[in-house]
Amino acid sequence: GLVFVHTESSRYSLPCSPIEMDVADPTYRWVQDGAAPKLFSVTKEGHLLFQRFQAGDSGKYSCTVSYMRHGIPVSQMFHYSILGYHVLGGLDTVLLFHSKLCKDEWTKRFLRGLQDKLRQLEMEQHCKLQLNATFCFPSLNNPWDEFIVQVQLEVSLFGPHWDEHCHSQDMETLTDCYRRTVQHNLGQVQLALTRFFKEHKSFPITGVDTSSINFTNEFVGFLKTKQCSGGYGQTKQLLRCLDCCIVCPPGTFSPPKNSQCSPCPIGTYSLTYGVEFCTPCKDGMITRVSGASSMTDCVKTERTKQVVSIAHRIPVLLLIILPVLLALNLIFILSSCYWFYQEYQVSSARASKMTGSTTRMETVTGFFRIPRQGPQAGRRASDTSDLDSRASQVGAEEPTHGAPSPAVTSNLGAVTDETIPVLTLEDRKDNF
């Protein structure tokens, strides 16, 4: 059958046989399936004893009872699935301390001293006090010379002998007793912590160099919680207590204060009961499905092998590719510089050639006194024929040896009409 045992139970016994057996001189043997062989605490009557039951004690158990019947050895085996659980109830405490320093070394030393002072309170109240988170920040009143150290103290009500008043063998009655005990202890622990920090306002911490720093308590706040412990979830398997937290089986996990058991993600597994976080597979191995409960579920797929092979080759590929890339970049830079240099040389040659052509053109124009053609060149083109006829008439009437040839006269007359009077006057002077 299915058996539920509360976490941190002071003393729980499970009989080997679910029914009373009237046999002579029986012997009992308990084993836990899938676990390494170990010694169990077994009573004379064959009951399996659990002292301070833990989540890891959950699992499948078998009990074999052997005896003699009519001179013939007889044995019977009984199987149990034992699951840990706990009722809801807890306390979160926030503590604020003023200090002149905000250094990890001094803060850790202070927390160790505070934890030691709380040990006596744990034994008196049958609880567990765990310092979880610590923060340090400047004080608002004096941010330069004073700091506030915030400490989160988690209170678990399932300490040693917390259930010493619950002895019933009836499951429903026992669960009700656990609930009443938790509620009673919750109020008692809160009063005890309040009284403790009123009596201990200052916590002096002495350093190696004999200097001393005081951590002064200024605030204590309490918050009652109803969340599952790490490795437990509300699976509703215990019908008598649907809001109780049941231990997560192998292949699942539950972080602290999550209250749900979730399957281990692909690539992870969990071997035992009550796991807060799953274990990752090694050497790049993965699991084919989620919820793996054995290390053998981690396998190397073909894709994983390819990824691992490529990952191993990446350093070698980088050593080969990087020099090539650097060489290509260097060639590109040098070719770019050469190309720009060639373009600059060609541009300079073109500029100097155009400058020389312009200079020669200006010299010829100045020699022949030929002005640059303007926008009116088109309009004066019609006068060219008149100039040609006049020049031909003058040449025919007054031929001289110094007169220019008709070709020259025609060319000069075709350039502009402003040169006609000058050439005509010079020709006339030569004729006279």
Structural domain boundaries enclosing 278: 229-304
Rounded to whole angstroms, the Cα distance separating 61 from 84 reads 13
pLDDT band at 302 (very low <50, low <70, confident <90, very high): low
Measured over the CA atoms of residue 273, residue 275, residue 281 and residue 287, the dihedral's sign is positive
> Is the domain of 101 the same as that of 219?
yes
180 and 58 share one domain:
no
pLDDT band of 395, cuts 50, 70, 90: very low
352 in a structural domain: no
Same domain, 279 and 259: yes
User: Domain check: are 95 and 217 in the same one?
Assistant: yes
Q: 100 and 23, same structural domain?
A: no
Q: Which of 196, 225, 254 is the last residue of a domain?
A: 225
Return the pLDDT at 407.
37
390 falls within a domain: no
Label residues 358-384 b or e (16+ Cβ within 10 Å = b): eeeeeeeeeeeeeeeeeeeeeeeeeee
pLDDT of 290 strictly over 70 = yes
Q: Does residue 19 belong to any structural domain of this protein?
A: yes
Place of tokens 């300490």: 159
**What's the CATH code of the domain at 45?**
2.60.40.10
The answer on 217 and 98 residing in a single domain is yes
Residue 177 lies in a domain: yes
Asked whether 274 and 247 are in contact (CB, 8 A), the reply is: yes
At which of 85, 103, 137 does a domain end? 85
Number of domains observed in the structure of the chain = 3
| 343 within domain boundaries | no
Q: Write down which residue in 225, 242, 274 finishes a domain.
A: 225
Q: Are 119 and 102 in contact (CB under 8 A)?
A: no
Judge if 134 and 201 occupy the same domain: yes
**Rounded CA separation 7/253 (Å):** 17
- Note whether residue 323 is domain-resident: no
Do residue 101 and residue 171 come from a single domain?
A: yes
Residue of higher predicted confidence among 396 and 139: 139
* Residue scoring higher pLDDT (416 or 44): 44
Each residue's pLDDT tens digit, 420-429: 444 443 443 3
Q: Name the pTM for this structure.
A: 0.65
Q: What is the pLDDT of residues 34-50, one digit of tens each?
A: 777 777 889 989 999 99
Q: Phi first, then psi: what are they for 271, rounded to 5°?
A: -90, -30
How many Å apart are CA 80 and CA 5, to the nearest integer?
12
- Tell me, letter by letter, the H, E, C secondary structure of 337-373: HHHHHHHHHHHHHHHHHHHHHHHHHHHHHHHCCCCCC
250 within a domain of the structure (yes/no) = yes
Residue 355 lies in a domain: no
User: Do residues 127 and 181 share a domain?
Assistant: yes
Among 109-118, 155-164, 183-192, 359-368, name the one with the lowest average pLDDT.
359-368
Positive or negative: CA dihedral 121, 122, 127, 131:
positive
